């Protein structure tokens, strides 16, 4: 089978499309023929080992522990491992695996949920990391009828899901993004759009009951001034001044500051509960949520897809159409 793999940390051009053996599922695992793989900013960091701390966490003797990149996948189960009863050959699934930029991937049953037939498997691959992260961020700011919620960085994959989920909860959503993404976020449920290039939201005079910060550029103090007295701020990722702390410095700052301020500050490190992913798939199937998909790159252009996301161009989410 074909897979993208690297023998060392380095530039994206070190990722090679090569022939490798088809992996075999073990106990509690299934083999998935991959239809599509999701692309998110973490892939660039893990391939390039930038920041260098990546080498300590994901490396072994200067080489990647897992040579094939990618986390999210959708596809069809083609083989089940010993003791697997939850899934069967032929099931359409979405979830996570270690290494999804390949034609076949082994995935733990505990990370997968089934996908109803009407849903497009290629688009559904955008759901796990971005959708679940957005779900947890929205949950943290506690939206509801009459609440004013700002989503900063609303035009990306996580932001597109966050706008929808907050609006669905009845909140009045202000989306902060570039002017070119205004129509996208309005279509997802934003009642107001602020072009960050024309207006500094921290100087806008507005106040919010909740802020989801996805862009990682604004000082915490400036964001707090936008909050109501008991408002809630959730920080998701961001690297405002460098590549230290695996991009988690601002999230750590928010969490450590929380006990000393009247507002609720939270640095979100997303987890991947299967129940949350199932709820999101159910919302998609019911037509109550849609994937803000920018484009699906061909498998042969997977490296370009990662660079496209790294450069900040997507209007929504990006996936790689692997096959299947």
pLDDT tens-digit map of 9-23: 889 999 999 999 999
pLDDT at position 148 is 98
Torsion of CA 60, 64, 65, 67, to 10 degrees: -150
Listed as own residue / partner, the contacts of 293-298 with beta carbons closer than 8 Å and 24 or more positions apart are: 293/123, 293/126, 293/317, 293/318, 293/319, 294/318, 296/36, 296/122, 296/123, 296/320, 296/321, 297/39, 297/321
Region 247-269 average pLDDT: 76
pLDDT-based confidence at residue 216 (cuts at 50, 70, 90): confident
The domains found in the chain, sorted by start residue, are 2-127+291-321 (3.90.180.10), 130-267 (3.40.50.720)
For 112, the 3-state DSSP assignment is strand
The string of pLDDT tens digits covering residues 33-56 is: 999 999 998 898 888 877 666 666
Say how far apart CA 313 and CA 294 lie, in whole Å: 10
**Model confidence over 283-313: pLDDT tens digits?**
999 999 999 999 999 999 999 999 999 998 7
Q: How far apart are CA 306 and CA 44, in angstroms?
A: 6
More confident residue, 207 or 62: 207
- The pLDDT tens digits for 159-206 are 999 999 999 999 999 999 999 999 999 999 999 999 999 999 988 889
Nearest-10 Cα torsion for 194, 197, 198, 200: 70
Interhelix angle 157-168/128-141, rounded to 10 degrees, is 40
pLDDT of residue 58 exceeding 80: no
User: Does residue 129 surpass a pLDDT of 80?
Assistant: yes
Q: What is the pLDDT of residues 65-108, one digit of tens each?
A: 789 999 999 999 999 999 999 999 999 999 999 999 999 999 99
Average pLDDT of the residues in 237-241: 54
Smallest CA-to-CA distance from 157 within 197, 180, 185 is with: 185
**CA end-to-end span of the chain:** 12
In this prediction, residue 262 has a pLDDT band, given cuts at 50, 70 and 90, of: confident
Closest by CA to 132, choosing from 307, 265, 289, 272, is: 272
Q: Hey, what long-range contacts does 85-90 have (CB within 8 A, 24 or more apart)?
A: 87/30, 87/112, 87/114
Q: What is the mean pLDDT of residues 1-12?
A: 93
DSSP helix/strand/coil, 249: helix
Beta bridge partners of 75: 34, 93
Task: Say if residue 274's pLDDT is above 50.
Answer: yes
Q: Look at residue 298 in the predicted model and tell me its pLDDT.
A: 97
> Quick check: 241 pLDDT over 60?
no
Flag whether pLDDT at 57 surpasses 70: no
Confidence (pLDDT) at 243: 46
Average pLDDT over residues 120-137: 97
- Distance, CA of 288 to CA of 283 (rounded, Å): 5
């Amino acid at each position: 089978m074909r897979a993208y793999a690297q023998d060392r940390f380095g530039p994206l051009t070190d990722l090679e499309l090569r022939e490798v053996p088809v992996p075999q599922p073990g106990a509690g695992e299934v083999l998935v023929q991959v239809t599509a793989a999701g692309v998110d900013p973490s892939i660039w960091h893990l391939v390039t080992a930038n920041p260098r701390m990546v080498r300590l966490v994901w490396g072994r003797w200067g080489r990647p522990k897992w040579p094939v990149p990618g986390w999210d996948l959708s596809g069809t189960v083609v083989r089940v491992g010993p003791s697997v009863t939850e899934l069967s050959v032929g099931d359409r699934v979405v979830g996570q695996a270690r290494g999804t930029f390949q034609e076949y991937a082994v995935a733990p049953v505990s990370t997968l949920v089934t996908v109803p037939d009407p849903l497009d498997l290629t688009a559904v691959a955008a759901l796990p990391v971005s959708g679940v992260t957005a779900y947890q961020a929205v949950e943290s700011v506690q939206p509801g009828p009459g609440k004013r919620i700002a989503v900063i960085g609303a035009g990306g994959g996580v932001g597109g899901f966050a706008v929808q989920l907050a609006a669905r909860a009845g909140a009045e959503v202000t989306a902060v993004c570039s002017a070119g993404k205004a129509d996208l976020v309005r279509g997802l449920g934003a009642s107001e759009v602020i072009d960050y290039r024309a207006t500094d939201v921290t100087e806008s005079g507005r106040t919010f009951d909740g802020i989801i910060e996805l862009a990682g550029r604004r000082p915490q103090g400036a964001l707090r001034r936008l909050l109501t007295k008991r408002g809630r701020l959730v920080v998701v990722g961001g690297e405002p001044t460098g590549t230290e702390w695996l991009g988690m410095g601002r999230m750590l700052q928010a969490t450590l500051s929380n006990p000393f301020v009247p507002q609720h500050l939270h640095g979100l490190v997303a987890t991947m509960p299967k129940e949350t992913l199932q709820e999101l798939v159910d919302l998609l199937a019911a037509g109550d949520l849609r994937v803000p998909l920018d484009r699906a790159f061909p498998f042969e252009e997977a490296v370009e897809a990662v660079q496209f996301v790294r450069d900040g161009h997507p209007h929504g989410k990006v996936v790689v159409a692997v096959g299947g």
